[in-house]
Amino acid sequence: MGKTAAHHARKRFGQNFLVDTSIINRIVDCIQPQPDDLMIEIGPGLGAMTRPLLSRVKRLNVIELDRDIIPKLISNCIAADSSNKEKLVVNEIDVLKFDFAAFHAQQLSLNERGAKAKLRIVGNLPYNISTPILFHLLDFRHLIQDMFFMLQKEVVDRIASAPGNKHYGRLSVMLQTYCEAQALFEVPPTAFEPAPKVDSAILRLQPYSRYDEQIDNFALYEQLVRQAFSQRRKTLKNTLKTICSGEQIEQAGLSPWQRAEELSVSDFVLLYKCIR
């Protein structure tokens, strides 16, 4: 999330480096980092966001897969402040393989923090794998305080939309089942180098446990939601015929003739309980 003349963004990593200082400062102000935060940045790039975060926290872990960019990231951070050498911890790994639970346990042990200390996760997520990353993080939601991500605006619209909206779908339901989702503000292509062909936006996710006791099989719930939205124009009776009967749909207080886009998150949870 920064630039130098020596590094060219790599397409296979979905790299677009944020270079607009006013946007960077606005994002950091939204995050409100505190010195003792257990902060993780995903995809730091060349450190545009990393540097202001380092100025506010005692330690910052970053997850970066591109081994060629890591030396430049470290160099840029140290050039900004020599003390960053001790504060920055680089994890060279695919974020989809990163064990946030093991990391959390290690940090609590190292820092002797209270059991209430949770992870704060930020990042400019690669557009090509943003959804798998979000689903991966759901597995560790109980350990996460909040998340702030730069994403394709279309994805943010889908995640934060309400029932009945054209953007409302599987991603909306799955993320809102486990998190409060809030679209904060848009970021134009001109804020990046190279400029992407799409608009971006900042998303805030705050995990909650509202439905945890009611959903005891994540895979089944995800299958239900996916199937319901598999053919948006068709009714629940048709899309869910291999999963549940019309009677079960009615038992959940719903009509078999409704479409998935009309159902709220709580409706999906009730439907899950009836088929479970």
Instruction: Please give the average pLDDT of every successive group of 10 residues along the chain, which has 276 residues.
Output: 44 68 95 96 95 96 95 96 96 96 89 73 90 96 97 96 95 98 96 88 97 94 96 94 94 96 97 92
Tell me: domain 11-207, CATH 3.40.50.150, correct?
Answer: yes
Residue 83 CA to residue 52 CA, distance in Å, equals 13
The pLDDT of residue 109: 82
Query: What is the Cα–Cα distance from 1 to 132, expressed in whole angstroms?
Result: 20
Q: What is the pLDDT of residue 276?
A: 83
What is residue 11's predicted lDDT score, i.e. its pLDDT?
46
Nearest of 91, 80, 86 to residue 21 by alpha carbon: 80
Contact present, 91 and 64 (Cβ < 8 Å): yes
Looking at residue 194, its pLDDT comes to 84
Task: Measure Cα distances from 245 to 40, 165, 219, 269 in Å.
Answer: 44, 26, 19, 16
- Mention every residue, 6+ apart, whose C-beta is less than 8 A from residue 77: 47, 50, 51, 54, 84, 85, 88
DSSP string, 186-211: EE-GGGEESPPSS-EEEEEEEE--TT
Q: Give every CB contact of residue 23 below 8 A, 6+ residues apart in sequence.
A: 187, 191
Sequential DSSP letters for 234-251:
S-HHHHTTTT--HHHHHH
- C-alpha 213/C-alpha 272 separation (Å) is 12
CB 243 within 8 A of CB 225: no
Give the pLDDT of residue 15: 60
Distance of CA 46 to the CA centre of its chain: 20
Rounded to whole angstroms, the Cα distance separating 193 from 132 reads 24
Q: What is the DSSP letter of 165?
A: S
pLDDT reported for residue 232: 87
CATH number of the domain at 218-275, out of 1.10.1740.10, 1.10.8.100, 3.30.360.10, 3.40.50.300? 1.10.8.100
Domain boundaries, the chain: 11-207, 218-275
pLDDT at 241: 94
